[in-house]
Structure 1
């Protein structure tokens, strides 16, 4: 119980609950075939956040992968 009541744990759980609510609202308004591919944008955001915050290297291979993800999302949203 002591660990569960620490502010970082409570804050993390609150963020998780918020993200679930946003996801449910999103699914209620957008086709699932569009909503699920949008989750892949999280990989793009995480890659750039890791580069910016932690100094991780964005190699050519990673940038190509990010580009493929972005092209795939664009293709799915226009179809």
Structure 2
């Protein structure tokens, strides 16, 4: 895999991970969502007007475009497993920006992912 190809794949992964963090920040601002027949529209409007949610959806759209460019250059059997890098980015981002706890077991799992991604990129 060439560096530019890896760049497209990695940017797509990062944008996808950032989208998740932004969506979570938006839902944190709204609170737990409990849809009923009477509140689905107002809940939808509340969610649709949250800037982090709008930004997260924008990141998703851009990530799809960048991902498609990356996929056009590399086998899906290599690209798709690289999405697991998003777990690492999200764990660090959730800890740093959202104050979520990253336990020792989660850190060990992230280490396993890193080893797997390293082995994959060497194949």
Which TM-score applies when normalising by structure 2?
A: 0.55
Q: With CA pairs under 8 Å and 6+ residues apart, which has the higher RCO, 1 or 2? A: 2
Residue of structure 2 in register with 1:17 after alignment: 61
**How do residues 18-33 of structure 1 correspond to structure 2 at under 5 angstroms?**
18-33=62-77
Runs of 4+ in 1 over 4 A off after TM superposition: none
Structure 1 unpaired stretches of 5+: none
Deviations 1:39-62 (A, max 9, x none): 011111000001111222221100
Which TM-score applies when normalising by structure 1?
A: 0.82
Q: CA RMSD in A?
A: 2.2
Residue of structure 2 in register with 1:68 after alignment: 112
Aligned residues: 78
Residue of structure 2 in register with 1:36 after alignment: 80
